[in-house]
Amino acid sequence: MVMFQSIFVLVASFVSCSAFTANGFHGKFARNKSSSTALSMAHTLVLVRHGESTWNQENRFTGWVDCPLNEKGIQEATSGGKILREEGFTFDKAYTSTLKRAIKTLWLILEELDLMYIPIVNLWKLNERHYGALQGLNKQETVDKHGKEQVLVWRRSYDIPPPPVDESSEYFPGNDPMYKNVPKSELPKAESLKLTEERFMSDWENVILPEIKSGKKILIAAHGNTLRALVKHLDDISSDDITELNIPTGVPLVYELDEVTLKPIPHPDAIAPLKGRYLGDQEDIRRRIGAVLAQTK
pLDDT digits (tens, 9 = 90+) for 196-224: 999 999 999 999 999 999 999 999 999 99
| pLDDT computed for residue 293 by the predictor | 65
- pTM for the full predicted model: 0.85
**φ/ψ (deg, to 5) at 80:** -60, -40
Cα–Cα distance, 89 to 108 (Å, whole number): 15
In a domain, 29, yes or no: no
Q: Would you say 52 is a known binding-site residue? A: yes
Q: Would you say 31 is a known binding-site residue? A: no
Is-contact 77 112, C-beta < 8 A?
Answer: no
In a domain, 25, yes or no: no
Exposure b/e, 153-176, CB count within 10 A at least 16 = b: ebbbbbeebbeebeeeeebbbbeb
Q: Indicate if 50 belongs to the active site.
A: yes
Nearest to 128 by CA among 252, 221, 233, 255: 221
Q: Indicate if 233 belongs to the active site.
A: no
Give the model's confidence band at 34: pLDDT under 50 very low, under 70 low, under 90 confident, else very high. Answer: very low
Q: Would you say 225 is a known binding-site residue? A: yes
Cα–Cα distance, 86 to 79 (Å, whole number): 10
Give the model's confidence band at 35: pLDDT under 50 very low, under 70 low, under 90 confident, else very high. Answer: very low
In a domain, 34, yes or no: no
Q: Would you say 23 is a known binding-site residue? A: no
| Number of compact structural domains in the chain | 1
Is-contact 155 83, C-beta < 8 A?
Answer: no
CATH of the domain at 98: 3.40.50.1240
In a domain, 15, yes or no: no
Q: Is 57 helix (H, G, I), strand (E, B) or coil?
A: helix
- Which residue out of 43, 50, 223, 267 is catalytically annotated? 50
Cα–Cα distance, 162 to 160 (Å, whole number): 7
Is-contact 111 117, C-beta < 8 A?
Answer: no
In a domain, 272, yes or no: yes
Q: Would you say 131 is a known binding-site residue? A: yes
Q: Would you say 146 is a known binding-site residue? A: no
Of the ranges 35-39, 68-72, 241-245, 289-293, which is most confident?
A: 68-72
In a domain, 20, yes or no: no
Q: Would you say 129 is a known binding-site residue? A: yes
- Which residue out of 43, 76, 112, 128 is catalytically annotated? 128
Q: What is the pLDDT of residues 217-249, one digit of tens each?
A: 999 999 999 999 999 999 999 999 999 999 999
- What strands lie across the sheet with 277-278, from one edge to the other? 120-122, 93-96, 218-222, 42-49, 253-258, 277-278
In a domain, 6, yes or no: no
Domain range for 62: 45-204+213-296
Q: Is 143 helix (H, G, I), strand (E, B) or coil?
A: helix
In a domain, 19, yes or no: no
